[in-house]
Amino acid sequence: MSGREFFQKRYEQIGWKLKEVNLKQAIRVNQTYSKEKNLVNRLSGLGLHLEKIPFLNNGYWVLESRVSAGATAEYLLGYYSIQEAAAQIPVSLFSNLKGKKVLDVAAAPGGKTVQLSDLMENTGVIIALDVDKRRLNALGNHLERCHVANTVVYLLDARQVSTLKLKFDRILLDVPCSGNFVTDKNWFKNRTLKDIERNAKLQREILTKAIDCLADQGEIVYSTCSLEPEENEVNMDWAVKHLDLQIQEVDCYGNEGLTSVFGKQLDSSVRLCKRIWPGETQGFFVCKLRRSKKDESKGNY
């Protein structure tokens, strides 16, 4: 159960016609560190012409570039990061990040850790975890380049997060996933339904362990760059039914989450998730969660 035709048929069943997508390069300005630097003009002077991405606060499309966006002095000085447009959405869904204790469970290579730190204005604490040491080195470079000062990184499986004995106000679950064909040329050749099911199971395990560390009133953002409902809506349906979590309404780019998937009816609140089919951006999925009210009051007894 694999191959382009197999997945194409699946996407058609859930309402999307497969099309080729040419991904536009995007950057995200690190506001805290580049304040008053007149960055957009400076970059335009170098031949890097930008256009504001209408659905993001600090994101710009790279329209035209005479220089590589990843090799300017401004990039090396940490004034901006190269971050795909849809990948800028999950972190932007948290409220009031300043001074908070934040968990980033699958953090490497760190695009979203740096974004979190930027929105926190380098206050509070981020605990960033990953299991891949090579990718953690890249994360360390990214933190150094962008002058991040509020993060502690561990080489740790997210499913062991309780060993840190901490409670978090915000948890980012940018979970390991199957990815999508836009960012991986060989995606259809390499991926099978079995992989997807295996990833979906790992995602549920990570989610289950992470919520044990969620402070009352805490917020979770779950995201993947997978198009497969098993890793997205179906997992969120499971979370609502098994983990006493409630899906929150979010105001961001994307379509409603699917509530009917391959003949299975999901909880109606799953429509509050956002599914982003490839087009303007790569494929993506985001969902914001909180403990359900009844669960919060349980904790108070």
Partner 1 sequence: MKAKAITNFLSGLGVPLVINPDLVIEKNGRYYLTNPVLKQIIRQDFFYAGVFLGKVKNGKFFPSFNLLTMISKKGANRIIIDKKSAWLFICGRDILVKGVIRILGPAKKNSNVLVVNEFGECLGFGKIVGNLSNKERSNDVAVQNVSDIGDFLRRER
Ligand X SMILES: C[S@@+](CC[C@H](N)C(=O)[O-])C[C@H]1O[C@@H](n2cnc3c(N)ncnc32)[C@H](O)[C@@H]1O
CA distance 298 to 281: 41
Contact between 287 and ligand X by CB under 6 A: the answer reads no
Q: CB under 5 to 8 A by kind: which of partner 1, ligand X, none does 144 bind?
A: partner 1
Which of 43, 106, 213, 221: binder of ligand X (CB under 6 A)? 106
Which of 13, 47, 64, 152: binder of partner 1 (CB under 8 A)? 152
Which of 14, 164, 193, 252: binder of partner 1 (CB under 8 A)? 164
| Cβ contact 235:188 at 8 Å | no
Q: How far is the CB of 125 from partner 1 (least distance, A)?
A: 6
Q: How far is the CB of 294 from ligand X (least distance, A)?
A: 30
Residue with tokens 């995200």: 28
Binding mask 75-94 toward partner 1 (x if CB under 8 A, else -) reads: -xx-----------------
Site for partner 1 in 113-142 (CB under 8 A): 124-125, 127, 136, 138-141
- Closest residue to ligand X, Cβ-based? 106
Smaller CB separation from partner 1, 56 or 146: 146
Query: Per-residue b/e over 116-139, b at no fewer than 16 CB within 10 Å?
Result: bbbbbebebbbbbbbbeeebbeeb
CA distance 58 to 84: 12
Contact between 70 and partner 1 by CB under 8 A: the answer reads yes
Query: Per-residue b/e over 221-246, b at no fewer than 16 CB within 10 Å?
Result: bbbbbbbbbbbbbbbbbbbbeebebb
Contact between 203 and partner 1 by CB under 8 A: the answer reads no
- Single out the residue of 171, 282, 294 nearest to residue 244, CA to CA: 294
How many Cα atoms are found within 13 Å in the side-chain-facing hemisphere of 262? Answer: 9
Contact between 54 and partner 1 by CB under 8 A: the answer reads no
Site for ligand X in 172-231 (CB under 6 A): 174, 176-177
Secondary structure string (H, E, C) spanning 259-280: CEECCEECCHHHHHCEEECCCC
Contact between 278 and ligand X by CB under 6 A: the answer reads no
Q: Is 179 left (phi over 0), alpha (psi -120 to 50) or beta?
A: left
Is residue 225 annotated as part of the catalytic site, yes or no? yes
Label the pairing between strands 284-291 and 214-224: antiparallel
Backbone angles phi, psi at 86, to 5 degrees: -65, -30
Under the rule (CB under 6 A), what is the footprint of ligand X? 105-112, 129-132, 135, 157-159, 174, 176-177
Interface residues with partner 1 (CB under 8 A)?
37, 70-71, 73, 76-77, 124-125, 127, 136, 138-141, 143-145, 147, 149-155, 164, 166
Catalytic residues: 225
